Amino acid sequence: MHPYFDLFLTFARVGVCTFGGGYAMLPLLQREIVERHGWATEDELMDYYAIGQCTPGVIAVNTATFIGSKQAGIAGAVAATAGIIFPSIVIIITIAACIQQFAHLAIVQHAFAGIRIAVCALVLQSVWKMAKKGVTDLPTALILLITFAAVAFFGASPVVMVLFAAAGGILIGLFRRPRT
């Protein structure tokens, strides 16, 4: 299969199954990108995902763009990006055409409530997996707890906290570096 078409189809599969945004797609990306295709290691995927969170735009699109670029340059980035957004465009157009006719139905409201719960479970699973991989010792656990508390309980800006965490990671690295 042509690499651009393969990138498009792979990310279209991820895109069609990604309800709940970028956080919910992490398990799908891990299976498709790391396990199935071997286009990135788990660490690389986490790095792309982290960069995708820090850059303007949608996390899913940014991550797809990074992986597509790594695999096949600019054309690969375009193919992967097109693949990740294509299912959303089709689904949104379809829903927009029908939602007003069916939104009042109890079965539709219950379906959306169920989808929200499933998305929450997917996000929690992704968070758990990322935390297990990223929290390796007491300093990284402290960064996690401080960042979570600041954002969840005190309304701190996620951007500021990402910068705080990056600075913390740099400091940890400097103190761990073997001194010569």
Q: What is the pLDDT of residues 19-62, one digit of tens each?
A: 666 667 778 888 899 999 999 988 888 888 888 877 887 888 88
Q: How far is CA 138 from CA 43, 124, 135, 144, 145, in A?
A: 20, 22, 8, 10, 10
Sign of CA dihedral 84, 87, 89, 92: negative
pLDDT tens figures, 58-86: 888 888 999 999 999 999 999 999 999 99
Whether the CB-CB separation of 64 and 11 falls below 8 Å is answered with yes
What predicted TM-score, i.e. pTM, was given to this entire model?
0.61
| Average pLDDT score over residue span 134-152 | 93
User: What's the pLDDT at 23?
Assistant: 67
Q: Residues 139-167: what's their mean pLDDT?
A: 93
